[in-house]
Amino acid sequence: MSTKADVWQGTLALMVLKTLHSMGPQHGYGIARRIESTSEKLLSINHGTLYPVLLKLEQEGAIVSEWGLSDNNRRAKFYRITKSGQKQLAKEVSQWTQANEIVARFLALKGGKA
Amino acid sequence: MIRFLRRGWNRLAGSIRGPRADADLAAEFDSHIEMLTEDNVRRGLCFEEARRQARLTFGNIESGKESYRDQRGWRALETVLQDLRHGVRGMRRNPGFTAVAMLSLGIGIGACTAIFSVVNAVILRPMAYDQPDRIFAVREVIPQVAGNQSIPANPLHAREWREHCPSLAEVGLMRWAGALLTGGGEPEMVRGLQVTHNVFRLFGVRPILGRTFLPEEEQEGRHRVVILSETVWRRRFNADPAIVGKRIVLNDENYDVAGIVPGSFQLPYAGDMEPTAPNVHFEAFRPLVVNKGQLRPMGNFNYSAVVRLKPGATERQAAAEMNTVQARFPPQAGEKVDLKVAMIPIQELVVGRSRLGLWMLLAAVGAVLLIVCVNLANLVLSRIASRERESAIRKALGASRARLFGQSLIESMLVAASGGALGIAGAGWILNVLTGMATLDIPRLAEVRLDPAVLAFSVLVTTLTGLLVGTLPAWRVSRHNPQEALRAGSHTVAGARGGLRVREALIGIEVGLSAALLILAGLLTLSLTRLLGVEKGFDTEQIVTARIALTGKLYADAPNRDRFFGRLRARLETIPGFRAAGLVTHLPSRGATWIDPIYLEGDTRPVLERPLVNNRYASPGYFASMGIAIRQGRDFAEQDRQPAGVSKGVAILSEKAAGLLWPGARNLVGRRFVGEDDAPKTVVAIVADVRASLHEAAPPTVYYPYWQRTPSSVSVVLRTAGGPRPSASALRAAIRAEDAQVPVMEIQTMDEVIGESVAQRRFQLTLVLVFAGAAVVVAGIGIYGVVSYAVARRRNELGVRMALGAQPGKLLRLVIRQAMTPVAIGLAGGVCGALLLARVIRGLLFGIQPLDPLTIVAVVGIVLAVGALSCVFPARRAATMNVIDALRFE
């Protein structure tokens, strides 16, 4: 496999929320591009896999969607984060950071017997 | 949580909005790919390459859509909807199978639902009283006199319980007292009770108008108040709301109406000899007045006592307290007997005698439904055998085993559900017929209806039915090996040996259940025949009876009653075809009652140790009219009266009663004993013993001439040479002609009286016979189906055998032997099961043992015959087929 990491769904949802949070309303393509560019191409996703995640978030009420026009006047569906989505994002960010810290501390332990 | 719920709701909505959302999704994907392509072009790729790259980056569009759809709705729900549509199409495609399946399940589920709603209303649903589990009927037990059998209560005892038993919140007393309603239309005798004032409170019934009784109304002089049931209030008083406080005429006396109680209120009466409440709706209630003279420590056991326990008190405590009180009474009367109480839960009192029979019916109808299910499962199995290729192809195309299983099961569930709907609709109709049967002596029958509990039961049964019918076939469908099925043309593999095994096992179950039902039906049939054929001691043909009551001021005087009876008897003799006529206080087959001791002069034993006999008061001509044989001596005659019209002291004994006084003696006419009125009697005749109820041995009985007591209520017995109908109207006319104000109740032929006493047995028997018949037919069809299938499957093999020289007869035997093996195994199992079951229903049998060999032999014969008949046709087809055809058949 490539060095590009596969993305699992839970993280993808978090990234989508963060993207919408910082960039404002975006269409699916915009979100995909943003994720790729932010990860500096370390992360590659099949754009198609983004849509079930978007749908799930929409079903949960974290985002809403609306048809609109893109920068170059193309019809596209725009997604916008909702209030409940903001809350969800804040919660997940803190959980993620905490989990990250724990794992980091764990990995920082010196090898060998204590 | 909210997030979870919202997602669930949106997915449910998504499942339904499928097609429109699909178009939306396609547009979104298109726009995405367009934008991706444009960017790629901007990066310098040619359009074709840009588009290719875009597609690569996006990934597989169809699989993207697929996973999007999975997220959008509930996959399982969509699958189910799809399978349902498929199932409905399947049902439409096979109207024959669908009709048979729906109809047979409909009948089975309908019958089950109907019987269950009776069981539910009669046995399971609590009585409509306030906290019915605290209410008990109390009866008395004197082991030395009546063994374990309880007798009605004594009013003195009840009064003492009320005072000395802290566990009892209420003690109520009732006594049967009919009421003649006159004024405004035909005089009508209504069933009534005299009750203590607290009885309504005890049962927790509130009057819909007016009030209940006051304590002081139990005193003589203030007792002329009546509470009516809503039923008689509507029937006779046009539901007049102003009736409370009005005066009505009861038994020729004025009564003030105190209140009206709901028509649904049924008072259970525990004052009969049998410890069960008669199935009677009482309509008039008057206060019970108990005089000092009626309070005797050991006598007057004639009342129905009911108690309500205080909250927290137990049945055991209450019984212990009452028994302590009971111990005081026998010494007060100088008796050396034990005296205890028997507490009967009120529901048991009312429905106890119907319980076993109803459970048996439910079990029987359940067995029929089971047979129908098994048969359908068999039918579905043969259907899937022919659809094997279809399921193999689907499997090869990637359908999961679970999906195939689910789809097949859903098809069966659909059939079951439509059958269930049909059945529930039919059950309503069956119930109407059932509850409309006036002669059916089942308590609480008026309460039978399709209520939520019954519907829940039907839904449960329907679901179980669907599972039962569908699981086995579904399992087989999902287990098919697609490779084999696809490789092997068509039929040959279709029914691997294992398939036939399963189906033979199913046949075994069907046969076993049918055999058990047949044995049950046989035992019940024999019981009823024996019961009707029992030596009754009296005739039933060409006898018409009518019950009349002489009430009111005129007939308060015994001489007036006596004159009426005398004139009536004379008038009856003028009826055309007259053979004999007589009067009696209590008809045979209407139960044992009026029990008192008799003894020889000089007997020093305490009263309760003297022989107990049934008392009857009869007129001359009664024995001749009822066909009761006079063994010695002569009938009563007018010269047995003393000049004043008072009894000269004669009596007629039944053989058993005579045996109690003079064991083994002959020539009893002229001997003397002391009768129920403690006066000496001379025996003028000995007559044959007569059964008081068909299913019990005849009780010892003593007959006194009716003028000894001149009862106010008697049964007139008329025997004529003519048919029953003209006799009945002649009898009614004769009574009318004497006094049109005398109410005539229950004009019946003696055959009808007997029929009524066996109505419940006949009802059970009829249903079980129908069930057993249906079971045998269904099982026969099942056997036929399986054998036909087996023959078709083995056609090739049989052809080879034939080509090699096997005789048709031998082939016939081969097929039959194989077909009859499961029948024989099932039969053996069924007989064993029935033998175990028969012990349980021993209480419903009469005059035969549960292991009646005749029944068993007959049933084995019937089942084997049906089995042989069902397989002989397909077997003959096998034996007579054309060898060439058979071999070519592939």
Residues near B708 by beta carbon (within 8 Å), at least 6 away in sequence: B617, B647, B677
DSSP of B139-155, one letter per residue? EEE-HHHHTT--BPBPH
Q: What is the mean pLDDT of residues B360-380?
A: 89
What's the rounded Cα separation, in Å, for the pair B39 and B45? 9
Q: What is the number of domains present in chain A?
A: 1
pLDDT at A114: 42
Q: Which pLDDT band, with edges at 50, 70 and 90, does A5 fall under?
A: very low
Higher-pLDDT residue of B468 and B195 is B195
Task: Determine whether the interchain pair A28/B63 forms a contact, defined as Cβ–Cβ distance below 8 Å.
Answer: no
Block residue for tokens 């049924």: B266
Assess if residue B37 is contained within a domain: yes
What's the rounded Cα separation, in Å, for the pair B572 and B564? 12
pLDDT at B399: 77
Query: Burial code of B44-69, b = ≥16 C-beta within 10 A, e = fewer?
Result: ebeeeebbebbbebbeeeeebbebbb
Q: What is the mean pLDDT of residues B567-594?
A: 88
The verdict on B461 and B320 lying in the same domain is no
pLDDT at B291 over 70: yes
Task: Determine whether the interchain pair A74/B35 forms a contact, defined as Cβ–Cβ distance below 8 Å.
Answer: yes
Bridge partner list, B182: B249
What's the rounded Cα separation, in Å, for the pair B46 and B825? 81
What's the rounded Cα separation, in Å, for the pair B524 and B770? 12
pLDDT at B20: 63
Exposure of B393 in the CB half-sphere (CA atoms within 13 A) = 6
Q: Residue B63: closest CA among chain A residues belongs to which residue? A: A48
What pLDDT digit, counting tens, does each position of B208-217 carry?
A: 999 999 999 9
> The tokens of B266 are what?
């049924």
CB B376, CB B105: distance < 8 Å = yes
CB B369, CB B109: distance < 8 Å = yes
Q: What are phi and psi of B336, to 5 degrees?
A: -115, 60
Dihedral angle of Cα B281, B286, B287, B291, to the nearest 10 degrees? -100
Provide the 3-class DSSP secondary structure of residue B123.
helix
Beta strand residue intervals within B251-373, DSSP E: 253-261, 284-287, 304-309, 340-345
A111 touching B (Cβ < 8 Å): no
Tell me the pLDDT of chain A averaged across its residues. 81
Pick B67's closest partner by Cβ from A52, A58, A74. A52
Block residue for tokens 């009768």: B675
Assess if residue B279 is contained within a domain: yes
- The number of angstroms, rounded, from the C-alpha of B849 to the middle of its chain's C-alpha atoms is 23
B68 touching A (Cβ < 8 Å): yes
What pLDDT digit, counting tens, does each position of B250-267 carry?
A: 888 889 999 999 988 888
Q: What is the mean pLDDT of residues B371-397?
A: 80
| Residue A80: how many other CB atoms lie within 10 Å | 14
Assess if residue B157 is contained within a domain: yes
Q: Which pLDDT band, with edges at 50, 70 and 90, does B14 fall under?
A: low
Provide the 3-class DSSP secondary structure of residue B28.
helix
Exposure of B494 in the CB half-sphere (CA atoms within 13 A) = 20
CB B32, CB A78: distance < 8 Å = no
What pLDDT digit, counting tens, does each position of B807-828 carry?
A: 888 888 888 888 888 899 999 9
Higher-pLDDT residue of B203 and B695 is B203
Task: Determine whether the interchain pair A74/B34 forms a contact, defined as Cβ–Cβ distance below 8 Å.
Answer: yes
Beta pairing class for B713-720 and B630-633: unpaired
Higher-pLDDT residue of B607 and B15 is B607
> The tokens of B210 are what?
């007016």
Cα-Cα-Cα-Cα dihedral sign, residues B197, B199, B204, B210? negative
CB B857, CB B767: distance < 8 Å = no
Could you list the residue range(s) of the whole structural domain that residue B797 is in?
A: 497-531+754-890
The verdict on B117 and B46 lying in the same domain is no
What's the rounded Cα separation, in Å, for the pair B509 and B513? 6
Could you list the residue range(s) of the whole structural domain that residue A13 is in?
A: 9-108
pLDDT at B715: 93
What's the rounded Cα separation, in Å, for the pair A89 and A87? 5
Q: Which pLDDT band, with edges at 50, 70 and 90, does B543 fall under?
A: very high
Q: Is B568 left (phi over 0), alpha (psi -120 to 50) or beta?
A: alpha
Interface test with B, best of A7, A29, A46 (most B CBs within 10 A): A29
Assess if residue A71 is contained within a domain: yes
Bridge partner list, B652: B685, B703
Q: Which pLDDT band, with edges at 50, 70 and 90, does B113 fall under?
A: very high
Pick A29's closest partner by Cβ from B10, B32, B67. B32
> The tokens of B639 are what?
């010269």
Q: What is the mean pLDDT of residues B149-157?
A: 90
The verdict on B724 and B650 lying in the same domain is yes
Task: Determine whether the interchain pair B36/A29 forms a contact, defined as Cβ–Cβ distance below 8 Å.
Answer: yes
Pick B28's closest partner by Cβ from A56, A60, A77. A77
**Distance between B11 CA and the closest CA of chain A, angstroms:** 7
- The closest alpha carbon to B510, from B629, B375, B660, B339, belongs to B375
Q: What are phi and psi of B718, to 5 degrees?
A: -130, 125
Higher-pLDDT residue of B147 and A18 is A18
Task: Determine whether the interchain pair A74/B59 forms a contact, defined as Cβ–Cβ distance below 8 Å.
Answer: no
A69 touching B (Cβ < 8 Å): no
What's the rounded Cα separation, in Å, for the pair B88 and B82? 10
pLDDT at A58 over 80: yes
What's the rounded Cα separation, in Å, for the pair B518 and B860? 9
Pick A28's closest partner by Cβ from B32, B57, B70. B32
Assess if residue A1 is contained within a domain: no
Beta strand residue intervals within A1-114, DSSP E: 26-27, 63-69, 75-81
CA distances in angstroms from B236 to B210, B370, B410, listed in the order given: 18, 49, 57
The verdict on B621 and B728 lying in the same domain is yes
Q: Is B282 left (phi over 0), alpha (psi -120 to 50) or beta?
A: beta
What's the rounded Cα separation, in Å, for the pair B827 and B210? 64
Q: What is the number of domains present in chain B?
A: 5
> The tokens of B494 are what?
């279709």
CB B547, CB B868: distance < 8 Å = no
Block residue for tokens 């044989």: B629
Residues near A63 by beta carbon (within 8 Å), at least 6 away in sequence: A16, A17, A20, A54, A57, A79, A80, A81, A82, A85
| Residue A64: how many other CB atoms lie within 10 Å | 14
What pLDDT digit, counting tens, does each position of B460-472 carry?
A: 999 999 998 888 8
Q: What angle do CA B241, B242, B244 make, to 5 degrees?
A: 100
Pick A55's closest partner by Cβ from B3, B58, B71. B71
**Distance between A100 CA and the closest CA of chain B, angstroms:** 25
pLDDT at A1: 34
CB B122, CB B445: distance < 8 Å = yes
Tell me the pLDDT of chain B averaged across its residues. 85
The verdict on B257 and B194 lying in the same domain is yes
Least confident among A100-104, B97-101, B422-426, B438-442: B438-442
Residues near B588 by beta carbon (within 8 Å), at least 6 away in sequence: B536, B537, B538, B626, B690, B691, B692
pLDDT at B702: 94
Count of CB contacts below 8 A, A vs B?
74
Query: Burial code of B128-164, b = ≥16 C-beta within 10 A, e = fewer?
Result: ebeebebbbbbbbbbeebbeeebbbbbbbbbebbbee
B6 touching A (Cβ < 8 Å): yes
A61 touching B (Cβ < 8 Å): yes
Least confident among B135-139, B367-371, B382-386, B860-864: B382-386
pLDDT at B752: 86
State the CATH number of the domain containing residue A31: 1.10.10.10
pLDDT at B71 over 50: yes
Q: What angle do CA B212, B216, B218 make, to 5 degrees?
A: 80
Beta pairing class for B192-195 and B284-287: parallel
Assess if residue B135 is contained within a domain: no
The verdict on B22 and B81 lying in the same domain is no
Q: Which pLDDT band, with edges at 50, 70 and 90, does A7 fall under?
A: low
Q: Which pLDDT band, with edges at 50, 70 and 90, does B194 fall under?
A: very high
Block residue for tokens 């009696």: B584
Provide the 3-class DSSP secondary structure of residue B574.
coil
Beta pairing class for A75-81 and A26-27: antiparallel
What pLDDT digit, counting tens, does each position of B645-676 carry?
A: 566 789 999 999 999 999 988 888 999 999 88
Bridge partner list, B719: B543, B580
pLDDT at B40 over 50: yes
Q: Residue B2: closest CA among chain A residues belongs to which residue? A: A60
Q: What is the mean pLDDT of residues B437-455?
A: 79
What's the rounded Cα separation, in Å, for the pair B611 and B66? 92
> The tokens of B616 are what?
């009857």
- The closest alpha carbon to B119, from B131, B128, B111, B108, belongs to B111
Q: Residue A59: closest CA among chain B residues belongs to which residue? A: B7
> The tokens of B381 are what?
């199995």
Q: Residue B11: closest CA among chain A residues belongs to which residue? A: A59
Beta strand residue intervals within B735-888, DSSP E: 744-749
Assess if residue A19 is contained within a domain: yes
Assess if residue B747 is contained within a domain: no
Q: Residue B67: closest CA among chain A residues belongs to which residue? A: A52
pLDDT at B2: 67
pLDDT at B490: 47
> The tokens of B459 are what?
């839904």
pLDDT at B492: 47
The verdict on B479 and B406 lying in the same domain is yes
Residue type, A2: S
Least confident among B7-21, B407-421, B754-768: B7-21
Q: Does ipTM top 0.90?
A: no
Task: Determine whether the interchain pair B58/A52 forms a contact, defined as Cβ–Cβ distance below 8 Å.
Answer: no
Is B537 exposed, middle or buried, given 0-12, 13-18 or 19+ CB atoms closer than 10 A? buried
Assess if residue A44 is contained within a domain: yes
% pLDDT > 90, chain B = 30
> The tokens of B818 are what?
């194989």
Assess if residue A114 is contained within a domain: no
pLDDT at A2: 38
The verdict on B158 and B261 lying in the same domain is yes
The verdict on B165 and B301 lying in the same domain is yes
The verdict on B174 and B289 lying in the same domain is yes
B61 touching A (Cβ < 8 Å): yes
Residues near B415 by beta carbon (within 8 Å), at least 6 away in sequence: B91, B98, B101, B102, B105, B376, B466, B469
pLDDT at B154 over 80: yes
Q: Residue A73: closest CA among chain B residues belongs to which residue? A: B35
The conformation of residue A43, written as its DSSP 8-state character, comes to B
> The tokens of B32 are what?
């995405």
The verdict on B205 and B312 lying in the same domain is yes
CB B753, CB B587: distance < 8 Å = yes
The verdict on B84 and B148 lying in the same domain is no
**Which residues in chain B are contacts of A61 at CB distance < 8 A?**
3, 6
What's the rounded Cα separation, in Å, for the pair B156 and B290? 9
End-to-end CA, chain B: 61
